[in-house]
A = this chain, B = another copy of it.
């Protein structure tokens, strides 16, 4: 599938929250469930997205994707193999997505054909958390390779997220990672946060993320 690409200039930034509200209203109008995947570089956002989209497609739930990267089209190329509409946003250096980029991205999508919109933010555990996009759910993708103390070291990301996908659990035997402590630290930072341990490699527990999405679709 052809990848649509948008170059975003730095002067587009501004009135972010206002545009985020507009984005949110537009998504509500089209009854689209939206999720913003954030996390460190290489935490596995794209792999999880690939597996999740495959499973949603099997259930005839249509998806759209807005891919945010500083440079390149690696991730959108991977997603486009799945034959879902994908828009690549290159931030040109900026360390996060902003509401205007999502607005421009949505203009490239046929919204009435989409039930679930995924945003994959720039790989960064800090800055993306500071910018509202108008996307309903913030999902942190954390990798066990990052260490269990990250919720305490990067509290804002965990505070603004409703869900954590704790990724790469297939490596639990190879890596010193204290899952119980991770849960404890994440809950300390955000008592309401939901955590699903998954593997973007083996597909373990991805069904639980799909279940979460289907539940949210029902209460939309």
Contact with B along A123-162 (1 / 0, CB 8 A): 1111100100000000000010111011011111001000
Given contacts A123-B154, A127-B127, A145-B168, contact A42 B40 (CB under 8 A): yes
Size of the A side of the interface (Cβ < 8 Å), in residues, is 36
Contact with B along A62-83 (1 / 0, CB 8 A): 0000000111101000000000
**Distance A153 CA – B123 CA, assembled complex (angstroms):** 9
User: How many of these chains are in the complex?
Assistant: 2
Residue numbers in B under 8 Å from A127 (CB-CB):
95, 124, 126-127
Contact with B along A172-199 (1 / 0, CB 8 A): 0011000000000000000000000000
**Distance A122 CA – B123 CA, assembled complex (angstroms):** 14
Minimum CB–CB distance for A144 against chain B, Å: 9
Residue numbers in B under 8 Å from A1 (CB-CB):
155-156, 159
